[in-house]
Amino acid sequence: MRLRSIPLSQIQVVDPFWSRYQRALVELGLPAQFRQIVETGRLRNFERAAAGERGDFDGYRFNDSDVYKWIEACAYVLAKYPSETLQRDVLHAIDLIAEAQMPDGYLNTYFQLMHPEMRWRNLIAMHEMYCAGHLIEAGVAVLECLGDRKLLDVGIKFADHIASIFGPGKRRGACGHQEIELALIKLSDATGDPKYRELARWMIEDRGQRPSYFEKEFADTEAIALCPAAADLLLHKGQYSGEYLQDHLPIREHSDVVGHAVRAMYFYIAAAQLEPDAELRDALSRTWKSVTERRMYITGGIGPSGDNEGFTTDYDLPNLNAYAETCAAVGLTLWGSALLNLTGNSEYADVMERAIYNGALAGISLDTTHYFYANPLESRGGNARVPWFGCACCPPNIARLIGSIGRYAASISEEGLWIHIPFGMELDLNFSGVPVRVQIDSGYPFESKVVVSVEPASPIEFEIRFRIPDWADNVETEIPGLEAEAEYSDGYICARKLWKPGDVAKFDIEMRPRWISADPRVRDNLGRSAMTLGPLVYAAEETDLGFAPQLFAADTAAEPEVIQSSKLEGASMIRVAGERIFETFPDQLYAETQALEYEEAVATLIPYYAWCNRGSTSMQVWIRT
Amino acid sequence: MRLRSIPLSQIQVVDPFWSRYQRALVELGLPAQFRQIVETGRLRNFERAAAGERGDFDGYRFNDSDVYKWIEACAYVLAKYPSETLQRDVLHAIDLIAEAQMPDGYLNTYFQLMHPEMRWRNLIAMHEMYCAGHLIEAGVAVLECLGDRKLLDVGIKFADHIASIFGPGKRRGACGHQEIELALIKLSDATGDPKYRELARWMIEDRGQRPSYFEKEFADTEAIALCPAAADLLLHKGQYSGEYLQDHLPIREHSDVVGHAVRAMYFYIAAAQLEPDAELRDALSRTWKSVTERRMYITGGIGPSGDNEGFTTDYDLPNLNAYAETCAAVGLTLWGSALLNLTGNSEYADVMERAIYNGALAGISLDTTHYFYANPLESRGGNARVPWFGCACCPPNIARLIGSIGRYAASISEEGLWIHIPFGMELDLNFSGVPVRVQIDSGYPFESKVVVSVEPASPIEFEIRFRIPDWADNVETEIPGLEAEAEYSDGYICARKLWKPGDVAKFDIEMRPRWISADPRVRDNLGRSAMTLGPLVYAAEETDLGFAPQLFAADTAAEPEVIQSSKLEGASMIRVAGERIFETFPDQLYAETQALEYEEAVATLIPYYAWCNRGSTSMQVWIRT
């Protein structure tokens, strides 16, 4: 990779916006998730497996993964906000997981309790390696953030078990739901052992080849029957095209993003981290463009359809029924980050930031205890955040993104420090052996001014690359001692100079309310605009308007007014002028158009991520103009 | 009933609009349907059953009904346009049906071939009485129009068999899909025997009572398993609420229309024909209002959701994914006709006319050979008419509506002749023993002038009641010898006088292009209007515009222009002014609103019923304004 993420131990997030979320997760969100994990039997599955029981399993076959993701999220936030009770729960869960592991390294409570003889026979639907991947990710996080390697050792043992069965010269196969690939790469990074990365590479390149190893499984009807939904689809309806799980083509031939959105994202995240050659980079670039230029909501949400939890066709982006799963936006964030580190091109940071602050963050309530699985861009009052889901992938996923948010804000490279998202952080870096402490202060995402204070142990030359967001026409800079005009590269300001103790660089990113239109091929948004401010997409909610926002039409020529508010944890609101239709109408369903009554009206918009925090209500992102 | 339909033998449709459709059905549509019936094994099922075979059945369990409905449609049009080959095919089918009937009167080729021991054990899903109902309707039509009672005798024998099993003091039960009820009423009218009507009354009143006879069937798991989809829903998911098949409440307690739209319509058609008492009339009136004031498309299409092929919630009327099944619009037509005959109130005729000329007629191509099952009000190019369906209820259903269209245009009562829809007809009537020939001439639905020529054998006093459509502010009348100002009653002009040979009454219904809005609670149509002319709803199709109609926004203040055209079988078109958005856009999915380019544009609209007759293309009824 050209850029490297900065280890979380060297990043301290001091930004009020994210610190508030992280603290809430420690105090409220993650303890509440643990109660759900306990009450839904997810922990009991491990207890039973540890006790060698048989025949009883609670919930979905992939429920182990929720425990792993919860541990990962806890590890991130506990490193910063210690909590005895939460740490005790985490360590207890780790103990149970370790006890449940079989002597040969296998670990999956569903199979251990229900079908021990059926291991690895239904890769297409049974998620064994998917769960293994989240185990490994959690193990790496616990070691990195809490200094405890017990869970990582469990993960390594499982990974070695997988590597003893699958790989070149052994069995073909990978998981129907990608995840193991990116986890194996993480494991190589954590252990220094390249064999895991090579196994991931082989899995990634082998997927989509013909004959497909997934298709071979159809003959094993006993194993396929373990998942009735898949059996119905694969055997009875014969509808397997491979697209759902990206098995339609070898990755090097991918162009349009297809199928299940989270599977696709996890797949491409791993591929981007493989040090891809030119051909694979081209495939990733084509597929990235297909997502971000034709199949992505303005929020960074992706995967419009609930039918396949995934992608449909170009420009098909319905608002009311948008699926736009929280996990898919988290996945797009991680893929953007991986491509950003691969290339140093700000276009990936633009999308990453869009997904973080909108499509992903909307998936969690302000107090971090209630969640959306789907993230529509319009509501007619029927949506509500809930504390948990039967398939509970999203709650711990958004929690671990928030817990590790610093990872996506900055990178380092040979050139120096890259600031992708300039929220408040303290960074402990080292350039050419010289320790450098960098502090970033800002009111991001609501305020435009960013102050970067640099404290090298001794003067040292390096570059600070500061991203110019796609939503800013201009970034004003004030960098002491930088004689020459600032240089620009791939969307970054390149401030190369000899940095001395006490140096302070100032950036002011032009931030104004902007009415945005969609490409006219997005039919759903014709005649509509969405309001944005900086990285944030705004929404109209009935709570603020006093009437359903669908009745409102904005005057995009009028000057929008940014309002500082104490509501919604201090989010900036935006007041826009327009007119509303009244709900008075003749006593019939259809009448001549002149029967409608209009009145001038003002609508106060809130950030999309904050919607549905004051009860179920009507909401709209794309406002009629 | 206050009004009576006029026997089809006394109505000759001479109207060019409908005559063209009827002739096309004889020459093209119905022969093509017969080929489908043969090729898909629907006729072979009868052959096999007649031969006493076992174990082989083609298609869906209710496929017999498609043959019956096709025969019914053929009977209507053959009475007017004789065709040797079509008549031969009809008589051949009738012979096979009669041969397939079992000695005890039972007739259902699915059960006879596959599960003879399972008769009447799964009423909820297996459609035995549904098929019986269509058999009876076809038998009545063949006798009425072709003078052959062989099929009716088969129907009577089956009806008697059903009556020997079900009824007061016998088994409880009716069909999960209503149809038998209205057919039994028709059979009483045809035979003069009231027992069938009383059986229908009992079935209608018993439905929705608790305990439900459908719920009792769940215990018969062997029978329920005959329909895997129902078994999954009823047994595994436990989701039975009764709403899907109107078993949620006794009919007298119905208020909101719920569930499967066609089932609901067929149910209420029968109930309206029962000479209902005040309580039942109130229930029908409430339910009618719930459909027509809160749950009906402007086209008269109903049942927005494909999930249940039916109703959802008030004002939930999405355009792009509208289900609005052709059969449901046919059902609404028949229900409106029944309530119209019950009450003599034009509001029912208004809805009936709306459904006929728009939601129902859109289901068949201009040449009568291709069909829609679902009738969306917007298309993005993905819709296509097809020659047939696996579940082929719609093609023969719209054909039998067109074949019998005269039945819905006029009625008689003690007062005289009611003209509901004034298209060209010749009526042979009789008032107080005096034969009266009435001829109606008009260019309906495109032209406003109607001429009614009255030729009584001798002068006779009676009323001609002429409907004032809901879409007309005014009807000018010119009735020779009618001294007093015309009187009005429930939406009809009442022209009572001594009619003499050669009398000619003239009516001119105000007909102008009107932009219509939906009640603002229909969120999907906010900021949009639909164009209408007379009874017709108009649509914008890419074929005429040269660009996708979604890009167009109409100027509703500009004067629309009606254009006579030779296209689409001479349908009037309407030219409206507005502006279009160009599909040029910056090379990104989202950009500032001022990036959009507009230009003044003109759009030529066509009648909705005629859309998608020139290939798959984008279409829109509700146009941005």
Strand partners, B573: B563
Distance between CA B496 and CA B407 in Å, rounded? 23
Q: Which residues of A touch B624 (CB under 8 A)?
A: 526-527
If you search the block for the tokens 């029924």, which residue do you land on?
Answer: A321
| Whether B551 and A526 lie within 8 Å, measured CB to CB | yes
Do B215 and B254 contact (CB within 8 A), yes or no?
no
Distance between CA B13 and CA B30 in Å, rounded? 19
> Closest-CA residue in chain B for A519?
B589
**CB contact B593 to A (< 8 Å):** yes
Of B380, B527, B582, the CB nearest to A527: B527
Q: Which of B89, B95, B84 is nearest to B38 (CA)?
A: B89
How many CB contacts within 8 angstroms connect chain A with chain B? Answer: 107
Distance between CA B73 and CA B91 in Å, rounded? 13
Q: Residue B572: how many CA atoms within 13 Å on its side-chain side?
A: 22
Q: Which residues of B touch A515 (CB under 8 A)?
A: 592-593
The answer, yes or no, to whether the previous bond of B211 is cis (omega within 30 of 0) is: yes
Do A392 and A66 contact (CB within 8 A), yes or no?
yes
Does pLDDT of A10 surpass 70?
Answer: yes
Indicate the SS3 state at residue A110: helix
In sequence order, what are the residues at sequence separation of 6 or more whose Cβ sits closer than 8 angstroms to the Cβ of residue B267? B178, B181, B204, B207, B246, B251
| Whether B589 and A380 lie within 8 Å, measured CB to CB | no
Of A523, A587, A591, the CB nearest to B516: A591
Do A446 and A330 contact (CB within 8 A), yes or no?
no
| Whether B625 and A550 lie within 8 Å, measured CB to CB | no
- Give ∠ CA B122-B123-B124 in degrees, rounded to 5: 90
| Whether A520 and B596 lie within 8 Å, measured CB to CB | yes
**CB contact A597 to B (< 8 Å):** no
What are the tokens at A550? 């669908």
**CB contact A292 to B (< 8 Å):** yes
pLDDT, averaged per 10 consecutive residues of chain B (625 residues), comes to 92 97 98 98 98 95 98 97 97 98 98 97 97 98 97 98 97 97 98 98 98 93 89 77 96 98 98 96 98 98 96 98 97 98 97 98 98 98 95 97 98 96 98 96 97 97 96 92 81 95 96 97 97 98 97 97 94 98 93 93 98 97 97
| Whether A592 and B519 lie within 8 Å, measured CB to CB | no
The ipTM of this complex is 0.94
- A309 is a catalytic site residue: yes
The string of DSSP letters for B212-233 reads -HHHHHTT-HHHHTTSHHHHII
Distance between CA B126 and CA B131 in Å, rounded? 10
Q: Which of B183, B150, B15, B129 is nearest to B75 (CA)?
A: B150
Minimal CA separation from A555 to chain B, in Å? 12
What are the tokens at A142? 């616990």
Cβ neighbours of B446 (radius 10 Å) = 18
Q: Which residues of B touch A381 (CB under 8 A)?
A: none
Q: Pairing state of beta strands B425-431 and B460-467?
A: unpaired
Distance between CA A336 and CA A535 in Å, rounded? 15
Distance between CA B224 and CA B236 in Å, rounded? 11
Of A514, A530, A593, the CB nearest to B517: A593
Minimal CA separation from A191 to chain B, in Å? 41
Cβ neighbours of B198 (radius 10 Å) = 17
Express each pLDDT in A64-106 by its tens digit: 999 999 999 999 999 999 999 999 999 999 999 999 999 999 9
Of B520, B556, B625, the CB nearest to A551: B520
The string of DSSP letters for A183-214 reads HHHHHHHHH--THHHHHHHHHHHHTT-SS-HH
Distance between CA A137 and CA B24 in Å, rounded? 68
> Closest-CA residue in chain A for B592?
A516
CA dihedral B223, B228, B234, B238 (to 10 degrees): 130
> Closest-CA residue in chain B for A472?
B592
Express each pLDDT in A530-541 by its tens digit: 999 999 999 999
Cβ neighbours of B5 (radius 10 Å) = 20
**Quick one: how far is CA A325 from the chain centroid?**
10
Cβ neighbours of B374 (radius 10 Å) = 18
> Which one of B515, B589, B594 makes the best mutation probe of the A interface by having the most chain A beta carbons within 10 Å?
B589
Strand partners, A553: A579, A624
Residue B484: what pLDDT? 67
**CB contact B512 to A (< 8 Å):** no
> Closest-CA residue in chain A for B587?
A293
Sheet of B492-499, strand order: B4-5, B410-412, B416-419, B460-467, B492-499, B487-489
Do A312 and A305 contact (CB within 8 A), yes or no?
yes
Which residue spans within A322-448 are E strands per DSSP? 378-380, 410-412, 416-419, 425-431, 434-442
Distance between CA A558 and CA B222 in Å, rounded? 68
Cβ neighbours of B561 (radius 10 Å) = 13
Distance between CA A214 and CA A124 in Å, rounded? 6
> Which one of A584, A588, A593, A625 makes the best mutation probe of the B interface by having the most chain B beta carbons within 10 Å?
A593
Q: Residue B617: how many CA atoms within 13 Å on its side-chain side?
A: 18
Do B490 and B346 contact (CB within 8 A), yes or no?
yes
Percent of chain A predicted with pLDDT > 70 = 100
Strand partners, A537: A532
| Whether B527 and A595 lie within 8 Å, measured CB to CB | no
Read off the DSSP letter of residue A26: I
Average pLDDT over every residue of A380-400 = 96
Q: Give the mean pLDDT of chain A.
A: 96
Of A521, A526, A581, the CB nearest to B520: A581
> Closest-CA residue in chain A for B378?
A523
First to last CA, chain A: 44
**CB contact B293 to A (< 8 Å):** yes
| Whether A527 and B585 lie within 8 Å, measured CB to CB | no
Express each pLDDT in B4-40 by its tens digit: 999 999 999 999 999 999 999 999 999 999 999 999 9
pLDDT band at A483; cut points 50, 70, 90:
low
Residue B277: what pLDDT? 97
- A393 is a catalytic site residue: yes
Q: Which of A16, A30, A605 is nearest to A371 (CA)?
A: A30
Among residues A144, A309, A463, A541, the one annotated as catalytic is: A309
| Whether A590 and B519 lie within 8 Å, measured CB to CB | yes
Q: Tell me which amino acid residue A447 is.
A: E
- Give ∠ CA A562-A565-A569 in degrees, rounded to 5: 125
Do B70 and B368 contact (CB within 8 A), yes or no?
no
| Whether A519 and B590 lie within 8 Å, measured CB to CB | yes
Residue A484: what pLDDT? 67
Distance between CA B223 and CA B124 in Å, rounded? 10
Q: Which of B360, B377, B260 is nearest to B318 (CA)?
A: B377
In sequence order, what are the residues at sequence separation of 6 or more whose Cβ sits closer than 8 angstroms to the Cβ of residue A594? none
Cβ neighbours of A129 (radius 10 Å) = 27
Task: Say what the pTM is.
Answer: 0.94
Distance between CA A460 and CA B588 in Å, rounded? 40
Q: Which residues of A touch B598 (CB under 8 A)?
A: none
Q: Which residues of A touch B625 (CB under 8 A)?
A: 593
> Closest-CA residue in chain A for B524?
A550
| Whether A515 and B625 lie within 8 Å, measured CB to CB | no
| Whether A520 and B293 lie within 8 Å, measured CB to CB | no
